[in-house]
Each structure stands twice: as C-alpha cells, then as structure tokens.
C-alpha cells in the first residue's frame, strides 16, 4: 500500500516538475510586456509579475451598489486579491436591443470599484451562466428567435451570443478596464460548464465549443480566456476546475503550458425551497485549498465569497431568495466566523510560501501510508516550503520530517513556509467564532397597521384556445402568474357523489377556484417540477366556472435545450359525476397574464392608491395583497423581515421587490427552508416605508410578521494551550521565517465589528469547558480567575489578545495539572 502511494506521489511530482520546467519558455515572453496577462505551466503572469491569486465570487446584482464598497473591503481584508463575477445577460438586455446598466446592473461601476480597491477582476461573460439565476442568464426573448437552439452549432444562437459578448467586451475596452489597458480585468470566461451539454449535442456541441473559444480570442482583449470543466477547451483558452476538492479530482490543464486554475471552490451550496440548508466547514474548505496549492495550484476562487440576495424574480426554478448565506460573508454582508478568519489566515500562510510556490522545484512523497509531503524548494537561494498532509480522517499522525517531530490532526494540512516552522494547520482554527442574532425592531413595529386588498378571481376570460396554453410562453418572464378559466354545465341528476377536480401540471405551483371560491392548491419541487392537483369540489346545477392560477418559481437554469422546457397545466378533469368523468383539457380555455394588483402596481405609492384597501380580517383569504407602513429600524445594522404567519408570495419595500418567500413548504426537518428575508438599508428611507405583500395562500396573518435588525456581535474564541500561534506572528525577512512578536504563543484573539467594543463577558473558562459558541458549559475544572482576567484584558476594547497560559490563569493553584487546558470565551460587542 505504501509502495503504491509512493509510486503515485512520484508521478505527481514528475508532473509538477515538468510543468515547472516550462517556465523559462513563457516567462521571457510575458516579461516583455508591462501591461497585460500571460501564463505558463506554473501561473498567470500579470504585468510581468507572478503572484498567488486568491479570488472570491461576488455578484453585483445580488447586492446593492451601496453595499459594494463594504463587501469589497471585507474581501480584501480577508486576503483576496481577485473578485470574480458573472455577466447577467437577461438583466442587461431584458428586451431585445434595450439595455440596462444602471443600479444593481452597473457592472462598469462595480469593476472600476474593484480596481480602485487594488484588486483584480475575473469576468465570466458566459453568456450562459447557470448560477441558480433565472433562465441561466438568457433573456426570454431569445427563446422566441426563429429556429434557435441554445448552446450548440446553431446560426441564430451564435449570432446573438456573439453580438452580446462583443458588446460587453467593447464596453470594457472603452472604459479601459482590461489589465492590458491598465485596468483590473485579468481573465474572462466564455461559456460555462458545457461538458454535459456537449455530450447531448455530440458533434454539433464539439463544433460549437471550438467556435466559442475562437470567437472569444478574436475579440483581442489581451488577457486570457478560460473555460471551466472543459477538457477540450481550444488553445489558447485555459480549461479550469470547479468542485469541492480539485486537488484530487482535476485531471489538469489540457496542455502542459497552461496553469492549474480553480474557478469554483464551493464554500457551501445553494438552497432550494423544501430542502434543508447545506453547511461546509471552514476546516474542510481550508484543507481543499491547501492541498490545491500543494499540488501546483496558484489560483483559487471561492464560490461564493458573498452570495447575497436573489431580488425580485431572479432565481432559477425553486431556488431560495437567499443565496449562499453560509459563505465567508453572509447574505447581510456580515463576516461569518470562523470561515472568514480561518481562510484569511490560510491566505497569509500561503503568501509566506509564495516565492517557493512560484519558483521552487516540486517533489512529493509519502512519509507513511496516511501522510504525504509536498515540497517546493530552491536550494541555491535557501527557499523552501512544505505541506504535510494527514489523509486519515480519524487519527492524529505523528511524523518526523527533516529532523523535527510534527503532530498532524486528522484530515489536515500543515503549512511550513521554511520547511521547518508550522504557521498554519487547516484543522486548527485560531480565528474567532461568531453567531448571528436577529432582534425585533421596536421602531419598525411602532403603530404598525395592516390593510388588505383581494384579487378579483376571474370566471370567464378572453384570449381563447381549446386547451390551456403553455405557462412559460404565456407569461414571457414578465410575471410569475397566469389565469386559466373554463366553464361547464352540470345537470342536477349528475350530482350526488363526491367530486374531485384533478389537474396535471408540468410546474411549478397552482391554485384552483370553483365559482370564484378557493378550493385548493398544489406544487412541484426542485427535483420533480410536475405534479397533480387533486381537490374535492362542489358544483351547482347549471353553469359552473373552473379557474386555475398557474404560478412559476423561476425559469430553469441548466441542461440542454432550455428553449424547449415547458410548464403549466397539461390536462384537467372532474371525477365523480354520475354520468362519468368530465374531461376538461379540450373544453376551451380563456387566459390572462398577471394579476390585477401587478397591473396597478399596488406595491408602489401611486399604485397603492388605485385600489381600495380594507381593514384586516382573519384569517386571510387566498390571493390577497397586504399593505402597511413601517418606520426605518433603529441603528445601522442590516434589516430583515421574518415572514411568520405567512404562506407563499412576494414582498415589496417602497416598490422594490425583495424576492419570493415560501414559508408553508417545509423541509424534511419540519421548518421552512428560509424564514428571514433581507431588506437592504438602501431600500429604506427616513420616516415611513411602504411594505406590500402578495400572499397566495389561505389562513395567513401578516400581523405575525417581524421586522428585525441583524447582528454578529456575539463573538467567541476557543483555544488550547497547544494551539498554533496566529499566523500573523510570523513574517519572511531576509529569506527566513522569523517571529514578529515578543513571544510566540497560543493566544485567544477577539475582534468586534467596526466601531463596536466589548461590553460584557458572557462566558469564560480556562480548564476543560465544552460546547460551542453560544452554548459553552464549564467542565470538571475551571480556573476561578477566568472571567475576571478576560474582563480586565478585554472590556471596553475593540479587540484583545489573551495568552492561553497556566501562569496567567492558574497563578495561585492549578486545579487540574494533568489536563490539557482549553480557554473558551464568549463576549458581547456593542456601542
């Protein structure tokens, strides 16, 4: 087993060495240019210089321009030097030849701001992006182009794709935003994760991907183009990796003179309504990144670094309004610890190893069956960096390396920038922890009064066809809703048995009404969008109206032939009549796109005056609009609304649609997938703010809704006396790793958000405490001085450092000398 591992490691080392051997060929070419980006088998070369690149995805339309400076600042302080974003075609060209580059879609302003922050940008032009974004980024009008087939060797599609991509590139050129012009853009991406679609289209797919690469290159940006997960990316495009563990899954660039780039390291996972949230630990992310850089990687992008909010109707089918909330920066723009801090420390450790990683000779071997060593060294220049990886998921490994003994926690990588000193371990978290706290706003709830306006349920509509029209083509992505009506005549002698209305639908949800009264609803799911609505009904002798409201949860965003996807009712019948079932599918149907409240824009100040609002009654009827005015919540923290008491619908604040909510669709854990919804501060104004809610379901009560302010002001540290000192304790001086502190030691480090200070110590124990941030408990031994010492060192300060030492906490008596001590602290920050 060990011999096999050694042979595998030697092969990896040979590949790395071959890549490094190519450096001399391509460096001289790059060095000739002061501006621009080149590459070789080791790295990108930006304006003639190599550097390690730590990138994070922040999508400009998933936040507001007012949030951008703070988000980019936090990304830079987290150690990033690159920001990655998609280009959102349907946001920029919602109607053919009508463009939008304003507000949240001002991508030029966003990219320019990245450059002003001293960072680079990667632009994923696509124009197909997926990204859990409505229609994968394609505008709906593209579906209606004659004879079009998306993402294949199809002349109409290629014409419109080329036109849009050229427009974007020319815009960036005019603004001088490419690195070749002195701007921040160092890479661009064409297409996106095409391999699965390519197989569906076979030869036509292969021709298309070659065309796409050649088309992009002819635009002459003088920065590299990339294709992710595309092994056959044409030269000179670079094929890149997406995934959780690219060090172990990436087959490598398709040519030895291309660098290894990781375009998506998933920091969490997108969520969909009806499923629980997914969490990926900081330790697991750090492990994957450390292994990537140990295995010849010089660029990683965190997807997402900030996920943000899918405002309005921008989500793909069934995706939640909240996007990648578990990223290092959460949906509200607050640093999620320890993920943000642990990755920041990782970047610092890798930068201490930068010279060796970019210029050193690589070698890889196995110390034991579980422990792998990766070394980059330049013996002549006394440059060396090492990575010690323990691949055992359960046990600590103790190994000897270059005369020193190292203890490696399970499933971890230790980084030694001088091949001797451990400055970072992926499993040992030195960064602080924090917990999100949501507080009900007193000011926002003062004198909160709700009114209602109910949609008129149509019973007979024009726009006739014999069968129900397809829902996507009917709505054309202008609304989630479309009405279907039909009429039947019933004889008295046919009644007497229980009746059931049955409607088969291809998605996504549906409400049913008989003679204007709500009778029931049904919906599909992310994995199976089709469903059958079956509800008991009552009919009367004579004419009866059947009304259906088709409801969408976003257009699909992935797979081949997106232009051929369908939704809406496909068949309908009534079962239980004495004379037999009544087939309604071809009974003749009327149609209407959208709701009356949407047409009147009742979610705006002017529109709300066009309808008659009445006093709230309980419980709420299906398809009702609710309106209230709230005051701007106190303070400066982010704002959210908790949709308690509600079912499914949308929310507007001062005319801004903050997204879809769905409280009634529970995950297997018995809870809504998302309960709180972000209200950006820039959507609010001084004084009263108009909140309007469209609620689809019956029995709801908006008086239970809560307006909240969001905090991450409970911070914790959890440190053992044998913890690795913070990576900031070290610096590279004169080619050596030297300490930059008076005493290198384990310390608990606490830092409050900007302008806040530590106002109370909620828990402190030096001994054997257990639990996690928010739920610490004292163990069998604890220094009685713990809380006193933390109060003395930390109260009133924005940040504090606490040595984890027995001589500090056990100065009078050591209550448990045989125990390895742990210091757990929880403090509260405030003004």
Residues shown for the chain? 831
- 564-601 b/e with 16+ CB inside 10 Å = b? ebebbbbebbbebbeeeebebbebebbbbbebbbbebe
For residue 532, what are the CA distances in angstroms to 379, 485, 493, 553?
70, 18, 28, 17
**Which residue is catalytic, options 130, 193, 703, 721?**
193
| Closest alpha carbon to 705 in 715, 692, 720, 724 | 692
Q: Quick check: helix, strand or coil at residue 420?
A: coil
Q: Please, which residues have CB within 8 angstroms of residue 91's CB and are 6 or more apart in sequence?
A: 61, 100, 104, 105, 314
| Closest alpha carbon to 116 in 47, 33, 182 | 182
For residue 763, what are the CA distances in angstroms to 476, 718, 774, 792, 812?
56, 11, 9, 14, 21
Q: Please, which residues have CB within 8 angstroms of residue 58's CB and are 6 or more apart in sequence?
A: 71, 72, 75, 83, 84, 85, 304, 305, 306, 308
Q: Can you give the three-state secondary structure of 197-226, one letter per residue?
A: HHHHHCHHHHHHHHHHHHHHHCCCCCCCEE
| Closest alpha carbon to 439 in 627, 632, 308, 633 | 633
Long-range contacts of the stretch 751-756 (C-beta < 8 A, 24+): 751/432, 751/715, 751/798, 751/799, 752/713, 752/715, 752/798, 752/799, 752/829, 753/334, 753/335, 753/712, 753/713, 753/829, 755/798, 755/831, 756/713, 756/798, 756/829, 756/830, 756/831
For residue 178, what are the CA distances in angstroms to 171, 223, 390, 555?
11, 7, 41, 33
Contact predicate 309/323, CB 8 Å? yes
- 224-243 b/e with 16+ CB inside 10 Å = b? bbbbbbbebbbeebbbbbbb
Any catalytic annotation for residue 696? no
Both structure tokens of 61 = 């339309």
**Which residue is catalytic, options 198, 264, 283, 563?**
264
Contact predicate 474/144, CB 8 Å? no
- CA 598, CA 767: separation in Å to the nearest integer? 61
Contact predicate 60/308, CB 8 Å? no
Q: Quick check: helix, strand or coil at residue 97?
A: coil
In 417-479, the DSSP E strands lie at 424-425, 433-440, 451-454
For residue 99, what are the CA distances in angstroms to 93, 125, 137, 161, 672?
5, 16, 14, 15, 37
Both structure tokens of 495 = 């009644």
What torsion do the CA atoms of 173, 178, 180, 182 make, to the nearest 10 degrees? Answer: 100
Long-range contacts of the stretch 766-771 (C-beta < 8 A, 24+): 766/804, 766/809, 766/810, 766/821, 766/822, 766/823, 767/815, 767/816, 767/819, 767/821, 767/822, 768/816, 768/819, 768/821, 768/822, 769/822, 769/824, 771/824
Both structure tokens of 526 = 């992310």
Any catalytic annotation for residue 264? yes
Q: Catalytic residue positions?
A: 193, 264
């Amino acid at each position: 087993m060990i011999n096999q591992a050694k042979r595998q490691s030697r092969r990896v080392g040979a590949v790395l060495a071959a890549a490094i051997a190519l450096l001399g060929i391509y460096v001289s070419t790059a060095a000739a240019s002061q501006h621009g980006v080149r590459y070789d088998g080791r790295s990108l070369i930006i304006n003639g210089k190599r550097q390690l690149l730590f990138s994070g995805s922040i999508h400009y339309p998933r936040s507001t321009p007012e949030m951008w400076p703070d988000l980019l600042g936090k990304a830079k302080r987290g150690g990033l030097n690159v920001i990655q974003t998609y280009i959102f075609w349907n946001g920029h060209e919602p109607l053919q030849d009508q463009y939008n580059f304003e507000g949240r879609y001002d991508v030029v302003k966003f990219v320019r701001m990245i450059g002003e922050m001293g960072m680079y940008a990667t632009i994923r032009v696509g124009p197909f992006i997926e990204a859990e974004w409505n229609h994968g980024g394609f505008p709906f009008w593209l579906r209606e182009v004659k004879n079009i087939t998306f993402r294949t060797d199809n002349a109409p599609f290629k014409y419109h794709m080329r036109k849009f991509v050229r427009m974007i590139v020319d815009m960036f050129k005019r603004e001088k935003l490419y690195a070749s012009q002195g701007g921040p853009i160092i890479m661009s991406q064409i297409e996106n994760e095409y391999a699965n679609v390519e197989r569906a289209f076979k030869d036509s797919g292969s021709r298309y991907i070659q065309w796409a690469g050649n088309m992009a290159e002819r635009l002459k940006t003088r920065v590299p183009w990339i294709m992710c997960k595309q092994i056959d990316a044409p030269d000179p495009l670079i094929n890149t990796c997406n995934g959780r563990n690219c060090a172990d899954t990436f087959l490598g660039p398709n040519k030895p003179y291309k660098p290894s780039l990781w375009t998506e390291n998933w920091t969490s996972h997108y969520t969909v309504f009806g499923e629980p949230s997914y969490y990926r630990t900081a330790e697991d992310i750090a492990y994957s990144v450390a292994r990537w850089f140990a295995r010849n990687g010089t660029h990683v992008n965190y997807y997402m670094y900030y996920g943000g909010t899918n405002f309005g109707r921008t989500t793909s089918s069934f995706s939640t309004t909240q996007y990648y909330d578990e990223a290092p920066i959460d949906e509200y723009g607050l640093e999620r610890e320890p993920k943000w801090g642990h990755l920041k420390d990782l970047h610092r450790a890798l930068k201490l190893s930068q010279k060796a990683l970019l210029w050193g000779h690589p070698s890889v071997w196995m110390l034991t069956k579980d422990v792998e060593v990766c070394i980059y060294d330049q013996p002549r220049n006394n440059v060396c960096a090492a990575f010690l990886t323990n691949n055992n998921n359960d046990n600590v490994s103790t190994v000897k390396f270059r005369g020193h003994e190292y203890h490696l926690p399970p499933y971890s990588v230790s980084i030694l920038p001088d091949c001797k000193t451990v400055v970072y371990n992926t499993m040992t978290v030195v960064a602080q922890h924090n917990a999100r706290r949501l507080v009900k706003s007193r000011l926002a709830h003062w004198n909160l009064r709700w009114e209602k306006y109910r949609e008129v349920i149509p019973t007979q509509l024009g726009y006739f066809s014999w069968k129900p029209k397809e829902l996507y083509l009917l709505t054309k992505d202008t609304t989630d809703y479309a009405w279907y009506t039909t009429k039947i005549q019933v004889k008295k002698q046919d009644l007497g048995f229980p009746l059931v209305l049955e409607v088969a639908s291809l998605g996504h949800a549906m409400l049913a009404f008989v003679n204007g009264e709500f009778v029931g609803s049904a919906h599909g799911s992310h994995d199976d969008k089709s469903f059958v609505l079956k509800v008991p009904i009552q009919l009367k002798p004579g004419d009866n109206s059947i009304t259906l409201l088709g409801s969408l949860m976003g257009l699909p965003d992935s797979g081949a032939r997106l232009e051929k996807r369908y939704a809406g009712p496909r068949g309908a019948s009534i079962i239980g009549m004495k004379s037999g079932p009544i087939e309604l599918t071809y009974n003749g149907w009327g149609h209407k796109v959208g709701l009356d409240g949407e047409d009147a824009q009742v979610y705006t100040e002017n529109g709300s005056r066009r309808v008659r609002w009445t006093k709230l009654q309980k419980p709420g009827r299906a398809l009702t609009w609710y309106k209230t005015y709230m005051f701007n919540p106190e303070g400066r923290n982010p704002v959210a609304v908790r949709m308690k008491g509600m079912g499914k619908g949308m929310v507007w604040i001062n005319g801004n649609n903050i997204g879809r909510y769905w409280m009634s669709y529970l995950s297997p854990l018995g809870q809504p997938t998302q309960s709180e919804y972000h209200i950006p501060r820039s959507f609010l104004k001084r004084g009263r703010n108009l909140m309007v809610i469209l609620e689809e379901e019956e029995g709801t009560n908006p008086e239970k809704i809560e307006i909240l302010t969001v905090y991450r002001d409970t911070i914790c540290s959890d440190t053992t006396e044998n913890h690795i000192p913070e990576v900031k304790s070290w610096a590279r001086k004169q080619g050596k790793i030297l300490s930059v502190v008076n005493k290198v030691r384990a310390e608990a480090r606490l830092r409050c958000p900007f302008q806040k200070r530590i106002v109370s110590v909620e828990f402190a124990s030096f001994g054997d405490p257990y639990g996690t941030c928010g739920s610490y408990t004292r163990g069998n031994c604890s220094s009685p001085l713990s809380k006193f010492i933390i109060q003395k060192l930390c109260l009133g300060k924005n940040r504090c450092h606490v040595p984890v030492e027995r001589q500090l906490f056990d100065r009078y008596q050591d209550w448990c000398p045989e125990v390895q001590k742990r210091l757990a602290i929880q403090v509260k920050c405030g003004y």
